[in-house]
Amino acid sequence: MTERPLTAMIDPAAGPPDCAAYGRSGGWRAVRAALRDMTPDAVIDVVTRSTLRGRGGAGFGTGQKWSFVPKEPAATRRKYLIANADEMEPGTFKDRLLMEGNPLQLIEGMIVAGYAIQAGHGVIFLRGEYHLALERLTRAIADARATGWLGADILGSGFGFDIHVHSSGGRYICGEETALLTALEGKRAQPRSKPPFPQVGGLWGAPSVVNNVETLCNVPHIVANGAEWFRALGLGPDGGTKLYGVSGRVRRPGTWELPMGTPLREIIEQHAGGMRDGYALRALLPGGASTAFLDAGQLDVAMEYGAVEKAGSRLGTGQAILLDDRTCPIGMLQNLEHFFAQESCGWCTPCRDGLPWVERLLAAIEDGTGEAEDLDRLADHARLLGPMGRTFCAHAPGAMAPLASGLRLFRADFEAHIHQRGCPLRQAA
């Protein structure tokens, strides 16, 4: 039977466990092991050896990220650990499941991670629309304080740690870690220049680590069970399990915890139940809206970092958005680029001015006023905005991923829109 450590205690009917029930089911083992038997460096070492990579989209090595934090004791320099729970990537809903279903798992992961980097303060930066998650996190944090799992001198170890929940004002750019930190400081959410990197100069100038919710939820299981155990859960070079999701015209849209490296075909056909009657899969975005399209002939790709990159896209959040044969790909792209244009922070010119231009070009093509030259203009934007380093952060390159791949895969659809002066699917309806 496949182990599913992240979702083992999630029971929608019963609700999230309290501290006592969490402990009876195996919770708090990692906190006890870390604070009683391990040094902070030993915690970082086991997480590094586990091959855990960031589950929010970037895929950076978690232990390596922690190792960049200066080694001074917490008493001599304040440090912060931030859980990025601002889950605004279109088509993504994995962190919501974890926070609503078992918030204490995230809290335990934050305590252990805080100990590893010697941070005394934790912040959960929560998407503003996640009202149920806010309620359950707040209750779980209060329960953990009352039972001694949060606060000063946890388990008599001399290490103290507490957590505050910050409900976001609701901007996609806060998924970028430095924009998140700027927003926490009460300023306009804009990315910062690097260096300094957050691990050296982050929240209010203090060393700070920002990790995704799913990433932090893996930490207790790694510390409690070991790096080798975690690596063995994956089917390929990347260890652990992953919360994979599917949205679109499938029979059972949702999210499932599966071994890292599970093939796309299994996720879509077995777990999501395949396409609904009367619909055929045409293409998909494998890891949220800011990843490149894969076509229906690439379903045998393993959903792990290297394999998806080799196929021409990114694993991203692992939450796939499916395009069927009765949905207009140009309309889908217009919808995506509208989202990216309105979510630009406005800091750099290519993103602030380029993304609205892309949206207007796509709207003209969809509405029947586009010209053949517009395809060249769209290709120019994809070429100029797509590579990393040409804009202040990864927002514009992420927006160009579906556009560049869409121009390649759906060229005939673009041309039909232009020649027929509108969307053929709408005209046939």
Across the range 377-402, mean pLDDT stands at 92
pLDDT at residue number 168: 87
pLDDT-derived band of residue 59, with 50, 70 and 90 as boundaries? Answer: confident
pLDDT at residue number 240: 96
Lowest mean pLDDT of 201-210, 311-320, 386-395, 397-406, name the range.
Answer: 386-395
Q: What are phi and psi of 177, to 5 degrees?
A: -60, -35
pLDDT at residue number 77: 66
pLDDT-derived band of residue 1, with 50, 70 and 90 as boundaries? Answer: very low
pLDDT at residue number 380: 95
419 and 374 in contact (C-beta within 8 Å)?
Answer: no
pLDDT at residue number 104: 98
Angle at 134 between CA 128 and CA 136, to 5 degrees: 160
Which residues, including other chains, have CB under 8 Å from residue 312's CB and lie 6 or more apart? 292, 294, 405
Residue 389 has pLDDT above 90, yes or no: no
Residue 90 has pLDDT above 50, yes or no: yes
| pLDDT tens profile 226-281 | 999 999 999 999 999 999 999 999 999 999 999 999 999 999 999 999 999 999 99
Query: CB pairs under 8 A, 24+ apart, for 143-151?
Result: 143/18, 143/19, 143/104, 144/19, 144/104, 144/107, 147/19, 147/20, 149/19, 149/28, 149/31, 149/107, 149/108, 149/111, 150/107, 150/111
Percent of the residues in the chain that have a pLDDT greater than 90, as a whole number: 87
| pLDDT tens profile 145-196 | 999 999 999 999 999 999 999 998 778 888 889 999 999 999 999 999 888 9
121 and 165 in contact (C-beta within 8 Å)?
Answer: no
> What is the token pair recorded at 187?
């300023």
> What is the token pair recorded at 386?
């797509």
Of 154 and 56, which is predicted with more confidence? 154
| pLDDT tens profile 310-330 | 999 999 999 999 999 999 999
| pLDDT tens profile 340-370 | 999 998 888 989 999 999 999 999 999 999 9
Q: What domains does the chain contain, in order, with CATH numbers?
A: 19-233 (3.40.50.11540), 241-324 (3.10.20.600), 329-428 (1.20.1440.230)
pLDDT at residue number 73: 61
The residue written with tokens 């992420």 in the block is 398
Q: What is the mean pLDDT of the chain?
A: 94
pLDDT at residue number 174: 87
pTM: 0.95
Assess whether the previous peptide bond of 73 is cis (omega < 30° from 0). Answer: no
